[in-house]
Amino acid sequence: MTRAVVQGLVLFFLPFVLFGAYLVIRRRDPLLWSHWSSQSLWLTIAGLGFVVLSLIVTGLVDERRTGAYVPTHVENGRVIPGHFE
């Protein structure tokens, strides 16, 4: 679950990081709000677009598991990890 949240956050902040790099390359101060204010709406939309697109691609491409899920349990003193049967 943590991996999914971190992955979503990275994809959301990717446009902001790229725009910050663009400002540095153009020799502008990336810490000034005046450079970000006009672009913040579009950067947010792009970040949300990346997250939604990744969810759609994951849903279409991810491996399908069939059968019943057997949760993690203990048998004869050994921990048996969860699996599909």
pLDDT in tens, 20-70: 999 998 888 877 888 888 888 999 999 999 999 999 998 899 888 788 989
Q: With 0.85 as the threshold, say if the pTM is over it.
A: no
From residue 29, give the alpha-carbon distance in Å to each of 35, 47, 64: 8, 22, 47
